[in-house]
Amino acid sequence: MKSDLLSGLGAAALGAKLSKAAVVPNFPMPRVYGIADNLRDCCDVFDVDSQSSAITAAMAAVACEKRSFLAVDEVQALQDFCNAAFMRLPLVAVGTTIALRDNGWLMFMPESNQEILDTVIQAYRICEDSSVLLPGFVYLDFPELREHVFLPKEQQIKGFLPKLRLQNKIAIKKPMAIGTPDGIAIKTQQQKAMDNALKIIPKVNEGWNKRFKRSYGLVEGYCLEDADNAIVIAGSDALTAKVAVNHLREQGEKVGLLRLRVIRPLPVEEIRNSLKNIKRLAVVDKAVSIGSSGILYKDIREGYDGFCSNFIAGRLNEKDFVNIFKQIKIAEKPERFWFL
């Protein structure tokens, strides 16, 4: 299979291209700047003057049964993004924020640029499923870093990803209005859609693995079978954490790692099953709910009620992860620790 050296942005753009995204509203933002330029030769890319205009245009395109793609740095138009979920419009966005985590969007946390490419394509398949119909967001941890990525062929993706088909859409021959519903009923429907996504994601992954021999589940366990202590993490730092696990394993330490690939919907049962034999746990967070704790920590506590400390940090190296394992091993009680 052909490969190329791609940044995270390049991998995401290629995923959108292979998915036959038709409409790409572009509001340039620093950390995702230039991603739309990679799509101008194959998609309807047009520049807009605000993020609100970008998300509104993307929603309109999907409502007209046109696959849409967005790149987002930080969320400035939160209500508009919430409306996409309320209106059950399965657009896909990528970016460097997780602000949409509790706003009705599926949230994917890739570990590598290869996984970014694969996940963008999978996200369209998952979000467009008739039992889901919610927008999806693929997190880009360090979008500027380049890695070798294996490139699927267009014909392979064509067989994996069918054309977008919506039961409710805007069409000239069948006029209808699409608005933003309100009330507890729509929240109930969104929750059911999230529950359905927990079943759809493994099925989509199974089909992907058959074609490309690359498998991504809801979670990934690493050396957990006989581990006493473990780290929970999401995103590209998991690669570094695995190196630390290998290093400590060579020294006879029974340690492991659980990576969350999907944080919305939250795979509680998979978390519980993966961590059922873990005695001490460290949850590593990059984002914090101010006044409470790290966001992953709050989620993990739904599926794990044992000894659990929270480490809140930016980019960590191998030594940092080794120290985290040492800290939870000697700690007298769970703690919250900040890497400043």
| pLDDT reported for residue 175 | 73
- Cα four-point dihedral sign 149, 153, 154, 158: negative
Instruction: For the chain, give the mean pLDDT.
Output: 95
* Fold of the domain spanning 3-212: Rossmann fold (3.40.50)
Q: What percent of the chain has pLDDT over 70?
A: 98
- pLDDT of 173: 74
pTM: 0.96
Stretch(es) of the chain classified as CATH 3.40.50.920: 219-338
Could you give the angle at the alpha carbon of 44 between the alpha carbons of 40 and 50, nearest 5°? 95
From-to residues of CATH 3.40.50.970 in the chain: 3-212
As beta bridge partners, residue 219 has 260
Q: What is the pLDDT of residues 26-45, one digit of tens each?
A: 999 999 998 999 999 999 99
pLDDT, position 174: 75
Q: How many helices (H) and strands (E) does the chain have?
A: 10, 15
Pick from 311, 256, 313: which is nearest to 282 by CA? 311
Least confident span in 33-37, 108-112, 195-199: 33-37
Residue 339's pLDDT band (cuts 50, 70, 90)? confident
Determine the pLDDT at residue 169: 87
Q: Which residue type sits at 27? A: F
CATH number of this structure's domain 219-338, picked from the four choices 3.30.450.20, 3.60.20.10, 3.40.50.920, 3.30.70.260: 3.40.50.920
